[in-house]
Structure 1
């Protein structure tokens, strides 16, 4: 957590395992999500610098090895977190409220990076 106005300017959040990936919630800027090596997704209260909820969402992924090895990636998609799970060949949909899996999409190969695009209105 970074606070440019008050000391300490940097507050570190202790995680139970190393971070694999993280994403900030653009709709709720006080929340972020972190996936750790043990396959657990953690909701972080960025103002309090603490874990507020956790749920197991994948098998473990090690951060050892080459930086470009396939590992899960997170993206926000409205009220869901989209999570690539390369070893399972899936893209998982996770509820931001419960951290429970709401669905999966089977894909070929090892899904790696994610991009979420949205739009609204009558014309684009």
Structure 2
């Protein structure tokens, strides 16, 4: 059974690039345009991993992760932040919210796939 990854980014072209890399590696992908949209997709379905941007309209990535971790079904779902943000302050906020890995844009697909493979739960 393939694993499902939720990709959250306000750039549809960027979501497409990430989705293609993940689908190419055999994962199923669910896409969301911002944190609020992503929370709506956390409807009880099995999500094995979340890849989220930080800076998005409506609801940013850190707020989204904080909210997602309040949901019992997703409390332990690993999260990778994929963002242009590389500051320690932002990383600390992410870690406090429950983020497991931080990948800075522009990203190399093998680096992302490596992080995904390490974090995705069997």
Q: Which bracket does the TM-score occupy, shorter chain normalised? A: under 0.3
Q: With structure 2 as the length reference, what TM-score do the two structures score?
A: 0.27
TM-score, with normalisation over the residues of structure 1? 0.27
Q: Of the two structures, which has the highest relative contact order with CA contacts closer than 8 Å and spacing of 6 or more? A: 2
